[in-house]
Amino acid sequence: MIIKTIEAKKVNLELLHPVVVAIGSIHSCETVVVKVETEEGIVGYGEGIGVTFVTGETVDTILSAVGVLKNELIGLDPFAIDHIHSVMDRTLIHNASAKAAIDIALYDIMGKHAKMPLYRLLGGIADQMETDLTVMIGTPEEMTEEALQIVGRGFHHIKIKAGLHSEEDVEAVRRIREAVGPHIHLKIDANQGWSAGDSIRIIQKMAELGVEAVEQPVPAWDIDGLAYIRSKSPIPIMADESCFSPQDAAKLVKKDAVDIINIKLMKCGGLYRALQINTIAETNGVRCMLGCMMESRISISAGAALVASRPNFIYGDLDSFFYFKESPEIRGGFTCTGPRLKLSEEYGLGIKVDF
């Protein structure tokens, strides 16, 4: 089996409302869908979406990168995933979302050829996982109302965006905790918005409010700051923007800087690299969360299959598709009941795409 063609196109994803975080805001969204076909006629679909203030990519740079990469990949065996990543990495540095799109499509092909859904191809037995839902930055009153709506939809885990104004961050969490009660799981994501010194003070207050993890409190480059915060923190510290690659994960665990790593397929280059990061974390006693950017059902299906296949993932943060109107061009992959994503039993991703 060899790769015959690789194609890519833009798909518009219509947001229900803007998404606001500490380091930027998203008002509209396009993604890149990649179609890989083998000489035997097996087709796999993948997705790449860049967030400029996180990965530095746009849909146009992803399209360009896929165009460069395909010239090196046509004729290769789609099952030779380690070799394919080596070829992609020596052809282009960075461009993780473009590589993720190709990687996901190849895993879709592998599942279809093996006649297995992706979660089983990855070694899993569970066919479902639970995601949180995110409260975006707003006034404390707005954030509390959003949290109540989330709980009303049956969610047990809420991720709260923070990092613009520390006192408002604490006040928002206080109000949310009072509103939702003691049994809802709360995580805070500061998106690099605090200093190391401020983080200690804020985290102490968050601990009193029953917050169970704080994500990326300081700038991505400040690994020493993360390690300092972790040494003083009464609750687990999670890295996000500080970890793009397996090498980043190795640095984080070597410095004892984190309790949890947030892996995102678009940051690391797809499922293959995500599996490597999870292995590094697990062998060093660090747990993982699988997060997302603003992906469609294609990448969310891949991420959900990964979470379902590996017990070291204690959290799923795969909520981006809740912010879009359903796209008629992209269907399947999973069904959703409240916070639970039940994976398709169709082979591969179980995704249907009008390409």
Active-site residue list: 161, 189, 215, 240, 264
For residues 132 and 186, give the distance between their C-alpha atoms in angstroms, rounded to a whole number.
9
CB 155 within 8 A of CB 129: no
Beta-ladder partners of 342: 128, 335
CB 251 within 8 A of CB 221: no
Pairing of strands 29-38, 330-332: unpaired
For residues 309 and 6, give the distance between their C-alpha atoms in angstroms, rounded to a whole number.
28
77 to 33, 36, 67, 72, 217: CA distances (angstroms): 21, 12, 18, 12, 42
For residues 201 and 280, give the distance between their C-alpha atoms in angstroms, rounded to a whole number.
31
Beta carbons within 8 Å of 59's beta carbon, 6+ residues apart:
10, 30, 31, 32, 49, 50
* 226: amino acid identity, one letter: L
CB 182 within 8 A of CB 200: no
Q: Take residue 31 and report the two structure tokens written for it.
A: 């993604």
